[in-house]
């Protein structure tokens, strides 16, 4: 699933290419992904000019000079193409925006789990399911250390589950929760209710530090290599590195798979 660095990478990549371009045609290919009719999608976006996009939590917001935003939640397997029309469309391409520069912006989704909505900014809560339930963005200036601790206090379960709960804080998924917990030195299966105040402070600082470190890596790589068919993860220190030496202490990194979710951590460093 795309997380904050991946989505910031998309924003940086597209904001160098899309603002100021007119959408000459907007086409729905797979209706189950786009929560608007083919006609509504074409009428709402056709002839509109793209503005600078942004991210909120795990949502990408594509604004236009007039009309609604295109709001995309890519879920597990949603990806983008920015290509010439002659380039082969990926399987399960769900929508296509034809642009005045002769390029196409395409969204494809192997599992068709992602969703795209049309909504005015004032209507996000009404038009985008669970928008109003979403907690503050993990990198928002409004999410202070004190507010973060207040959000955590609502939950008692395992701390990794709490971090990846969008109603607590938005934008953290399976991969980067492993990295945040490793940075903070906290065991992923420790219960939130057992964490002392000092550990909660470490967790907040680790969250900010990990995203500040990882985001420029992903942004630079996406600009250099282009839009990925899978998300960049090889810069991560523990996630998907089961059996490899911990970069901090050298002990073997543990890997546990439960509920189709892989968790990696160091038993020595994360108590």
pLDDT of 259 strictly over 90: no
Structure-token match 């949603």, residue found: 78
**Euclidean distance between CA atoms 248 and 5, whole angstroms:** 23
| pLDDT, tens digit, 9 for 90 and up, residues 22-43 | 999 999 999 999 999 999 999 9
Output the CA torsion 132→136→141→146 (10° steps).
130
Domains plus CATH for the chain?
4-127 (3.20.190.10), 145-265 (1.10.8.50)
Can you count the helices (H) and strands (E) in the chain? 7, 10
Residue 102 region, left (φ>0) first, then alpha (ψ -120 to 50), else beta?
Answer: left
Count of positions (residues) in the chain: 271
The pLDDT tens digits for 114-169 are: 999 999 999 999 999 999 999 999 999 999 999 999 999 999 999 999 999 999 99
Statement: the pTM of the whole predicted model exceeds 0.75 = yes
Contacts with 73 (C-beta within 8 Å, 6 or more apart), sequence order:
58, 59, 60, 114, 115, 116
pLDDT tens sequence across 77-106: 999 999 999 999 999 999 999 999 999 999
Residues near 77 by Cβ (< 8 Å), separated by ≥ 6?
109, 110, 111, 113, 114
pLDDT class of 271 with cuts at 50, 70, 90: confident
Q: Which string of DSSP letters, residue by residue, matches 15-69?
A: HTTSTT-BEEEEEES-TTTBSS-HHHHHHHHTT-BB---EEETTEEEE-BSSS-E
Q: Over 90: is that where the pLDDT of 64 sits?
A: yes
Q: How far apart are CA 132 and CA 113, in angstroms?
A: 20
- Sign of CA pseudo-dihedral 2, 199, 249, 268: negative
Counting Cα atoms < 13 Å in the Cβ hemisphere of 1 gives 22
Residue-wise pLDDT tens digits, 168-206: 999 999 999 999 999 999 999 999 999 999 999 999 999
| Assigned token pair, 31 | 């209706």
């Amino acid at each position: 699933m795309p997380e904050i660095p991946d989505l910031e990478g998309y924003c940086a990549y597209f904001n160098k290419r899309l603002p100021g371009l007119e959408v000459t045609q907007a086409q729905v290919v797979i209706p189950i992904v786009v929560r608007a009719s083919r006609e509504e999608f074409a009428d709402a976006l056709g002839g509109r000019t793209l503005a600078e996009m942004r991210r909120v939590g795990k949502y990408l917001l594509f604004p236009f000079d007039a009309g609604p935003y295109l709001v995309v939640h890519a879920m597990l397997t949603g990806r983008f193409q920015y290509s010439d029309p002659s380039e082969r469309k990926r399987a399960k391409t769900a929508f296509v925006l034809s642009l005045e520069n002769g390029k196409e912006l395409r969204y494809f989704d192997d599992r068709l789990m992602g969703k795209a909505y049309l909504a005015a900014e004032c209507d996000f809560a009404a038009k985008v399911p669970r928008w109003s339930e979403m907690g503050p963005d993990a990198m928002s200036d409004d999410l202070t250390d004190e507010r973060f601790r207040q959000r955590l206090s609502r939950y008692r379960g395992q701390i990794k589950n709490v971090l990846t709960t969008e109603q607590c804080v938005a934008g953290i998924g399976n991969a980067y929760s492993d990295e945040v917990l490793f940075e903070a030195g906290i065991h992923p299966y420790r219960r939130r209710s057992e964490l002392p105040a000092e550990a909660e402070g470490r967790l907040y600082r680790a969250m900010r530090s990990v995203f500040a470190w990882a985001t420029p890596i992903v942004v630079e790589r996406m600009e250099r290599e282009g839009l990925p068919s899978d998300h960049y993860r090889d810069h991560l220190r523990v996630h998907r590195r089961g059996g490899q030496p911990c970069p901090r202490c050298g002990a073997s990194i543990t890997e546990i798979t439960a509920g189709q979710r892989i968790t990696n951590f160091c038993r020595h460093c994360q108590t």
